[in-house]
């Protein structure tokens, strides 16, 4: 694994050393195939309020530091974000990120659950604000899950009838139910197909929407 810092003049040496050590330490705990082949690129963007990440192809995790993390990095959150994206890289390399709504929801659900596994707090935004939001989301998901033509922005970022981040919230619920039922860590699911996870965990979620 290689860790690159872009715009290094704006990332203090102490921050770079702390991030490098934390990422390397946490890599020792993963069981993905060939994690040494992953590139980690750290950039800073003062316009971003918090640190976030994204996965590129089968080999690169980009971590973007917000202004607060440039001077005093929240390593716990940074490592949680790093593992979220690393789970995507491992999944892209095996079964793929996914084309359908069901596949994308499972992939993002694994990402959120992996954040929790590696010490992150599951933020409030990753939970439904109530059963009155969860039920219609599940009902709509059941009819749309096989579609590759779904509205990704609406499902994951909001703007339509769904509450913001509904796809992440539902994905986390689905993956959490699967992990509890199968006594397995989320990071072990990188090569498990979405249909395997959905066919086992949706059954547990669906009865709750039939009783008002």
Q: By the criterion CB under 5 A, which residues form the site for Zn ion?
A: 108, 111
Q: How far is the CB of 165 from Zn ion (least distance, A)?
A: 11
Please state the closest distance from residue 61 (CB atom) to Zn ion, in A.
Answer: 11
- Quick one: 73 or 98, whose CB is closer to Zn ion? 98
Alpha-carbon distance of 20 to 23, in angstroms, equals 5
Q: Give the single-character DSSP code of 206.
A: T
Smallest gap from Cβ 131 to Zn ion, in A, equals: 25
> Closest Cα partner for 83 from 125, 118, 44?
118
| Beta carbon nearer to Zn ion, 46 or 96 | 96
Query: Dihedrals φ, ψ of 171, to 5°?
Result: -60, -45
- Measured CA to CA, the distance from residue 23 to residue 182 in angstroms comes to 28
Nearest-CB residue for Zn ion = 111
The Cα 187–Cα 86 span in angstroms is 9
Closer to Zn ion by CB, 65 or 80: give it: 80
Q: Smallest distance, Å, CB 77 to Zn ion?
A: 15
Nearer to Zn ion, 103 or 108 (CB): 108
Pick the closer one to Zn ion by CB: 10 or 60.
60
Q: Could you please report the per-residue DSSP string of 25-74?
A: HHHTT---S-GGG-EEEEEE-TT-SS-EEEEETTTEEEEEE-HHHHHS--
Q: Which two tokens stand for residue 86?
A: 């690393």
- State the minimum distance, in angstroms, from the CB of residue 57 to Zn ion: 14
């Amino acid at each position: 694994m290689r860790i690159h810092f872009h715009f290094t003049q704006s990332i203090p040496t102490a921050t770079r050393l702390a991030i490098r050590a934390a990422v390397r330490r946490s890599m020792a705990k993963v069981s993905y195939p060939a994690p040494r082949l992953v590139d980690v690129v750290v950039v800073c963007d003062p316009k971003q309020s918090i640190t976030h990440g994204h996965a590129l192809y089968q080999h690169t995790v980009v971590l973007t530091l917000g202004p607060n993390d440039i001077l005093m990095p929240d390593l716990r959150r940074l490592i949680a974000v790093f593992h979220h994206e690393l789970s995507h890289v491992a999944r892209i390399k095996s079964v793929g990120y996914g084309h359908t709504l069901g596949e994308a929801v499972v992939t993002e659900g694994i990402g959120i659950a992996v954040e929790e596994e590696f010490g992150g707090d599951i933020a409030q935004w990753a939970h439904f604000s109530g059963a009155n939001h969860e039920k219609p989301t599940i009902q709509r998901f059941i009819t749309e899950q096989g579609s590759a033509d779904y509205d990704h922005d609406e499902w994951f970022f909001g703007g339509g009838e769904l509450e913001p981040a509904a796809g992440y919230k539902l994905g986390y619920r689905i993956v959490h139910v699967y992990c509890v039922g199968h006594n397995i860590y989320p990071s072990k699911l990188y090569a498990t197909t979405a249909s395997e996870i959905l066919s086992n965990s949706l059954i547990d979620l669906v009865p709750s929407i039939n009783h008002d």
